[in-house]
Structures are given as C-alpha cells and as structure tokens.
Amino acid sequence: MTRLSVNINKIALLRNARGSDIPNLLQFARDCERFGAQGITIHPRPDERHITRPDVYELKKSVTTEFNIEGYPTPDFMEMVLQVRPEQCTLVPDAPSQLTSDHGWNTLEHQSFLREIISELHTKKIRVSLFIDPTNKLIEAAAKAGADRIEFYTGPYAHNFIKDKNAAVKDFTTSAEFCNQIGIGINAGHDLNLDNLKFFKQQVPGLLEVSIGHALVRDCLYYGLENTIQLYLRQLE
C-alpha cells in the first residue's frame, strides 16, 4: 500500500491568519496520525508564512510516524534539517518568494550541488528525495547525485486529468518503470486529490508515498478530518 503523508502547511497558514494557536498545529498532526496517516509533511519557507522555525522543532517531538521536511537547501534550511533529523528530506528547487512548487530539479545542471547536499544529509541518516519532472535523464542524474527517492511533480497530471487521464499519466508510468529498473524510490505530490489519486496509483508502479495537503484540507471542510483521511487511504489501497 502506498503511504499517505499529510502536508499541514495550510493548517499553519490558517492559524497564522489570526496570530493565535487556533487551529493547533501539533494537535492536527497528531489527529492525522491517529486517523491513519502514515506521515506528516511540512514545507517551511523563509518568510514563515505558514510553518515557522519553532514549529519544525516542536513537530519533531510530536510526530510518531514519518516526518518529511521539504524545502530549498539554503544554509539556514540545511542547518535546521541537520539538527532536527527527520526521516526524510525532500529537496525542491523553489525560489524563496514562490507561492508553491511548480517544477522539478534540473538534476543535470545542478548535479554537483545536489550531490554535496545529499551527501551532507546522509551523514545524519536522512533519506533524501528530489522533486522532479517525469523525465528519465533527470531521474538518472538524481540517482547519480545520490538521491534515495524522487518525488514526481504531479501538477501537469492533475491539470490534464479531466481532458485525457491516460495521456496525463503516460509519462509518469514510463518514468516509474525506469525508476524501478535503476532502483530509486518513487514519491509523488502536488494537486493530487480524491478524483485523480486512485488512477495515478494504479498507473504508477512502485509508488511508495504521496504527499497531499491543499486538497486534503479542503476536503476536511466538507467531510471532517477522520473521514477525509480514510477516503484518501482507500484510494491508495
């Protein structure tokens, strides 16, 4: 079964809007785990518009499943991750001011940079995943840089799913088969939801983990947290 990691950035964003501790981020993470989520994902950004630096350290104490920290590897980010030592660190090529992730790494162009960063994370036994587009030469370069996994950027799949779901998933299926051949693990995330998740899971062999935040939090407004977690887990069976 593919593991579900819940991205809780949007809960932190909602909390920050009122300058209080409502909703409580730690409680939300604990409840996600209690209702069946197998991981918690956060993406702290330099402006702390949602996840703050203190949140990262507090969540490390609280999370009992897999803790996944996403981000661009600035010196500050790396210092924090090496101190916290999450089970997984997902590296993204985002600019500091970027609203959300919208493309993967050019692992050919940034090969030496990524190799150095990944090696440093491995000294603390942190699994490393690289956010990436479904292109075999980029995946091969990710493996050469030392990445344990790649995380498919699934925005294009979600965007084209309604038009032609088979065409939308084709590149991901092909690249997943290549990942399985060369022995690199497969994660996925971005705009996956209750409509498109099951088909993606069925068409992507070896999918280990999905990270879902925005859509899952939206669904909580209608179905409640416990029901929503269960609905997503069913898509991954």
User: Could you list the active site residues?
Assistant: 43, 70, 190
* Per-position b or e across 133-163, b if 16+ CB within 10 A of its CB: bbbeebbbbbbebbbbbbbbbbbbbbeebee
Task: Please list, in sequence order, all residues whose beta carbon lies within 8 angstroms of the beta carbon of residue 33, skipping any fewer than 6 positions away.
Answer: 40, 63, 64, 65
Residues facing residue 70 across a β-bridge:
90
Which among 151, 91, 86 is positioned nearest to 125, based on CA atoms? 86
Residue 190 region, left (φ>0) first, then alpha (ψ -120 to 50), else beta? left
